Structure 1
Amino acid sequence: MIKRKSQSEITELLGEFPAVSILGPRQVGKTTLAEEIASTLTPDAIYLDLGSLADQAKLSDPEAYFELHKGKLIILDEIQRTPELFAVLRGVIDRRRRAGFRTCQFLILGSASLELLKQSSESLAGRIAYQELSGFNVLEIEDSTQADMESLWLRGGFPDSILSKSDAGSFRWRQNFIVTYLERDVPQFGSRIPAISLRRLWTMLAHTQGSQLNTAQLGASLGITIPTVKRYIELLEDLFLVRTLYPWSGNVGKRLVKTPKVYIRDSGLTHALLNINSLEDLLSHPVVGASWEGFVIENIISCLPQGATTWFYRTSAGAEIDLVIELNNQERYAIEVKRSSAPKVSKGFYLACEDIKATKRYVVYPGKEVFPFADDVIATPLHNLMKELSNVKKV
């Protein structure tokens, strides 16, 4: 079993808050992680799957059920199916606080962020902490004999995909995941979006991985309106399947682009949508550079401390930074992503670093050596930069 880096963070949060919510897409390992955490804290934790009719029936009178199991850690999975529970949880937590039970009461798992965050922040303000769980990242597999970085890039970070016995088996799992999400899961979130339309949009986003969003072009290709395109993308983002990266907007006296970039978050899903099922196919595919960029960016973001903000930077004159990270300790990272094992730095990157006054400047490439360029720019493997960022104190 590959240990998740967030396990210790979630355990720490449970020692500080009465409720902790783990957010992430379906099949990313939330339940496995929650049960592992619970097993280290208590012998009698209770797990309820709110997608199960039997477990829903147990909560026909939730206050009575929670009172019966007072003092136990209760795991509530798929809570977005029963948002009315949040109001109940507030009363239960407050009563327990008065009785002296202040922490480690509820571990809440959810697969859709927007509604869950809205409901929980309104009902449980000051009583709940949040932790997002994405697929396995490079640091998590570094000590594993079951996976390496290239297979993680090809297959993506979903546990069943990366741990499959073969590339073919992994590819089949991802294809089935996509179909299941579109036909079964999306409708459960109250969406009336036709599965075929969402599949076509998702595939188009894979073809344009990391490009600036052109809603007019997407709408024309799909035969839908611009507001509908935006609604589809917002849904995929809410389900943790795509990431919108916004342009840096500081005052640098330059004409900056204002259109965000969109990335499919899991590289394995990008490849499945494009029918790329082997490393050989990937390396010869036109999307290889954009896929690597998205993979690097998602891995970096997965290890950032709470409070970090991420952007990209681009001027109309061509100065560009793939990823800008701002930390509250005043550090500002400028990160360029290169697929070449002998990377070169463009003049535009140097200019952009000066524009934003970057304090740290890196080029991430697939090699193993760290070496300098001019003007304090350093070429580094992804693994090294992730280790540096994961050791930054919480900001």
Structure 2
Amino acid sequence: MFPRHLIDPIRTALRERPVVLLLGARQVGKSTLAQGLVAQGLLDRYLTLDDLALLAAALEDPQGFLAGLRGRVVLDEVQRAPGLLLPLKALVDRDRRPGRFLLTGSANLLALPKASEFLVGRVALFTLWPLSQGEMEGRKEGFLAALFGEELPPIQGEGRLPLDRLLRGGYPEAVGLSPEGRGRWFRDYLATLLAREVRELSQIERLPELARLYTLLAGRPMALLNWAELGRSLGLPATTLKRYFALLETLFLVRTLPPWEANLGKRLVKSPKVHPTDTGLALHTLGLDAGRLETDRSLLGGVLEAFVAMEITKQAGYAPFPVGLFHYRSHTGEEVDLLLEGPGGRVVGLEVKARGSVRGEDFRGLKGLAQALGPRFHRGVVLYLGRESVPFGPNLHALPLEALWRL
């Protein structure tokens, strides 16, 4: 079993808040984490609404179901009975003792109608993503703390493309399988997820079109979201396309990276970027193995950038301070792959290069960002596939990709 770094913030929240909500895709380890908290004595009972008898009771009489619960309770897969949320709100408003409920959901409850208004101000919210590289290696990453610290410690890289990391993804059950076994797991996972979860969440019968949309997005990692282009590619009207896209987000299969819109006195591109949440699942869906990925350099750059974005997203969930993740692109062509906003509004820019060497021109976007931000600009970093940590001027550095999980 892999250690999950999110468990410490969840323990703290259970001591402070009446309800903790843990969201995440199917098979990322939510149930295992929740059962571990019961075993440690922080919660008393584990109940899952995948149990048909419990689900029937929760759907038939939500208020009576909750009234009959005693002690500190885990309610797993609570999205299957959204009618529980309104009586839960009333129950918690009468008694706000901390640690009363841990709710988990494999669909984003905040995207369900009226759910967010029942939960606002009452819950501590966490998202469990597939395993981070640090979790797979049994170490707690310090990358974000290092980025916003005073000095970047040197690190030695391996000097190679981490194809194995990109292809295995982070689903706990899949990472230890052979490539052939993992391929079968990914195929079955996507098919059953779409068949089961989508029909519970929305009246969609044309599942092949939803799968086609995911495949199209997987093949354009970190592209700007362009509804017209996607609609033309799939032959779908805008209303249907947006509904399908929202479902993929709700199921944690894709994620949008918002643009950074600080007042810089210039026009910025305001479209979000879109990327898959797990490169292993995305690459399997595209039918790509190590050989084909390594030769397709145009796709490789986007996949590597999506990989970095998700590693930072995972680490931000258990970082010692809040970190916002964005992209930056101006209408005049200045661009930074990833922009991190941390303590005190300080900004770190990240560029991701699928090459073993770094050139001065790779810092052009970071230098433009530094000039625009002035003292708010803390540091600019290019992550690359080389071995050495190299300074490239004041507050500008090239770091091996392994800094993500080994700093």
TM bin, normalised by shorter chain, reads: 0.7 to 0.9
The 5 A counterparts of 1:72-87 are: 72-87=71-86
Conservation of the 8 A alpha-carbon contact between 2:311 and 2:404:
no
Partner of 2:118: 123
Check 1:252–1:340 CA distance in 2 against 1; reply closer, same or farther (3 A cut): same
Deviation at 1:383, TM superposition (A): 4.5
2:212 maps to amino acid: R
After alignment, is 218-227 or 120-129 more displaced? 120-129
Check 1:309–1:367 CA distance in 2 against 1; reply closer, same or farther (3 A cut): same
Check 1:213–1:220 CA distance in 2 against 1; reply closer, same or farther (3 A cut): same
Check 1:118–1:152 CA distance in 2 against 1; reply closer, same or farther (3 A cut): farther
Alignment deviations for residues 260-304 of structure 1 (CA, whole Å, 9 cap, x no partner): 21111111121012112x333322234111111100111012112
Alignment deviations for residues 135-163 of structure 1 (CA, whole Å, 9 cap, x no partner): 0011212238xxx9653321211111212
Gaps of 5+ in 1: 389-395
Conservation of the 8 A alpha-carbon contact between 1:211 and 1:261:
yes
Which consecutive aligned stretches of 4+ in structure 1 deviate over 6 angstroms post-superposition? none
Check 1:19–1:368 CA distance in 2 against 1; reply closer, same or farther (3 A cut): farther
Check 1:236–1:116 CA distance in 2 against 1; reply closer, same or farther (3 A cut): closer
Check 1:253–1:21 CA distance in 2 against 1; reply closer, same or farther (3 A cut): same
Partner of 1:55: 54
Partner of 1:391: none
Deviation at 1:309, TM superposition (A): 2.1
Counterpart check, 1:158 vs 2:174:
no
Q: CA RMSD in A?
A: 2.4
The 5 A counterparts of 1:306-385 are: 307-344=322-359, 345-357=362-374, 358-385=377-404
TM-score computed with the length of structure 2 as normaliser: 0.85
Alignment deviations for residues 58-102 of structure 1 (CA, whole Å, 9 cap, x no partner): 5455555555542x22111111111111122233334444xxxx1
SS, match of residue 32 in structure 1? helix
Partner of 2:155: none
SS, match of residue 27 in structure 1? coil
Distance 2:395 2:259 in 1: 24
SS, match of residue 263 in structure 2? coil
Distance 1:51 1:116 in 2: 20
SS, match of residue 88 in structure 2? helix
After alignment, is 321-330 or 15-24 more displaced? 321-330
2:74 maps to amino acid: I
Distance 1:364 1:61 in 2: 54
After alignment, is 337-346 or 286-295 more displaced? 337-346
Conservation of the 8 A alpha-carbon contact between 2:322 and 2:342:
yes
1:330 maps to amino acid: G
Q: Which has the higher contact order (CA 8 A, sep 6+)?
A: 2
Conservation of the 8 A alpha-carbon contact between 1:38 and 1:73:
no
Check 1:312–1:356 CA distance in 2 against 1; reply closer, same or farther (3 A cut): farther
Deviation at 1:206, TM superposition (A): 1.4
Counterpart check, 1:182 vs 2:194:
yes
Counterpart check, 1:218 vs 2:237:
no
Counterpart check, 1:141 vs 2:112:
no
Conservation of the 8 A alpha-carbon contact between 1:48 and 1:77:
yes
Partner of 2:152: none
Check 1:45–1:361 CA distance in 2 against 1; reply closer, same or farther (3 A cut): same
Conservation of the 8 A alpha-carbon contact between 1:324 and 1:334:
yes
2:18 maps to amino acid: P
SS, match of residue 241 in structure 2? helix
Check 1:94–1:256 CA distance in 2 against 1; reply closer, same or farther (3 A cut): closer
Aligned pair count reads 377
Gaps of 5+ in 2: 140-160
Conservation of the 8 A alpha-carbon contact between 1:78 and 1:109:
yes
Partner of 2:98: 103
Deviation at 1:349, TM superposition (A): 3.3
SS, match of residue 321 in structure 1? strand
Conservation of the 8 A alpha-carbon contact between 2:38 and 2:46:
no
After alignment, is 247-256 or 327-336 more displaced? 247-256
SS, match of residue 82 in structure 2? coil
Check 1:372–1:79 CA distance in 2 against 1; reply closer, same or farther (3 A cut): same
Work out the percentage of aligned pairs sharing the same amino acid. Answer: 36
Counterpart check, 1:89 vs 2:88:
yes
After alignment, is 51-60 or 180-189 more displaced? 51-60
